[in-house]
Amino acid sequence: MSIKEAAKVPADAEKAKDGTAFKKISPATGEGKPGEGDLVTFHFKAATMDGETVQDTHGEPTPPTAPLDKLPPAMAAQFQDMGPGEKRRIWISEPRAPGGHIVADLELISFKAAPPAPKAPEDVAKAPDDAEKTASGLASKVLTKGTGTAKPKETDTVEVHYSGWTTDGKLFDSSVQRGETTSFPLNGVIKGWTEGLQLMVEGEKRRFWIPAGLAYGENPGGGRPGGLLVFDVELIKIAK
């Protein structure tokens, strides 16, 4: 019926060193800029060039915090050049998207030095002989005894600190490194966590060896780790 010209990156957009086009929306209100090893707290809204929202953190209970080096390179490079309170719009090359780009609005809320990355456990390669094992194949070992008596149910929400490694000792995720606990409903996570957390009481810290079938599978793709995964989990609180 008609032909509509695809939206384009504005001609007056600036170019970063990595080639990413960007525009400053509002200036920084705070001092300093994050460095490579810092944690950044931010808001992020991504959309296609024709305006369809892909992701928006503004609907989450709290803005996300992540190590700078765990973010997509184009985002990380922008944040390193931004101060607290600053907002920018960037155009990330994405050939599969309409117009060939994703439009992302970034807001740097704050930044701080990241805690040291937790070291991989010595027994990360496989569960030791003295680990507890369940019928599903989940293995675990209590590292610190808890102070509570109640255990969470599958329908409960829990607050935890955790770190996760692959069997070669590679750390792939850690709330400890982000410097903040995380909360989630037990029936909304991998099967190994749903089962394992129900063995714990508040204040307890436990190491889990979660087989692929109770985690993300052998070759999950999408940046998720495959195979047997090892987690150190501290149950902070049970929220009914």
pLDDT of residue 69: 85
In sequence order, what are the residues at sequence separation of 6 or more whose Cβ sits closer than 8 angstroms to the Cβ of residue 32?
A: 83, 84, 111
Residue 6's pLDDT is 59
23 within 8 A of 75, measured Cβ to Cβ: no
Domains of the chain by residue range:
14-113, 132-239
Structural fold of domain 132-239: Chitinase A; domain 3 (3.10.50)
Q: Do domains 14-113 and 132-239 have the same CATH topology?
A: yes
What length is written for the chain?
240
Cβ 81 vs Cβ 22: under 8 Å = no
pLDDT of residue 2: 55
- Which residue has 């950044």 as its token pair? 40
Beta-carbon contacts of residue 73 (< 8 Å; ≥ 6 apart): 18
Q: Which pLDDT belongs to residue 138?
A: 98
pLDDT by residue, tens only, the chain of 240 residues = 655 555 789 999 999 999 999 999 999 999 999 998 899 999 999 999 989 999 999 998 889 998 898 899 999 999 999 999 999 999 999 888 888 899 999 999 999 998 888 999 999 999 999 999 999 999 999 999 999 899 999 999 999 999 999 999 999 999 998 888 999 999 999 999 999 999 999 999 999 999 999 999 999 988 899 999 999 999 999 987
The pLDDT of residue 239: 87
What pLDDT is attached to residue 36? 85
Please name the CATH architecture into which domain 14-113 falls: Roll (3.10)
Total-model pTM? 0.68
Give me the pLDDT at residue 209, please: 98
Q: What is the pLDDT of residue 230?
A: 98
Q: What are the DSSP calls for 188-208, one per residue?
A: GS-HHHHHHHTT--TT-EEEE
- Alpha helices (runs of H) in the chain, residue ranges in sequence order: 73-79, 175-178, 191-197
- pLDDT, position 178: 83
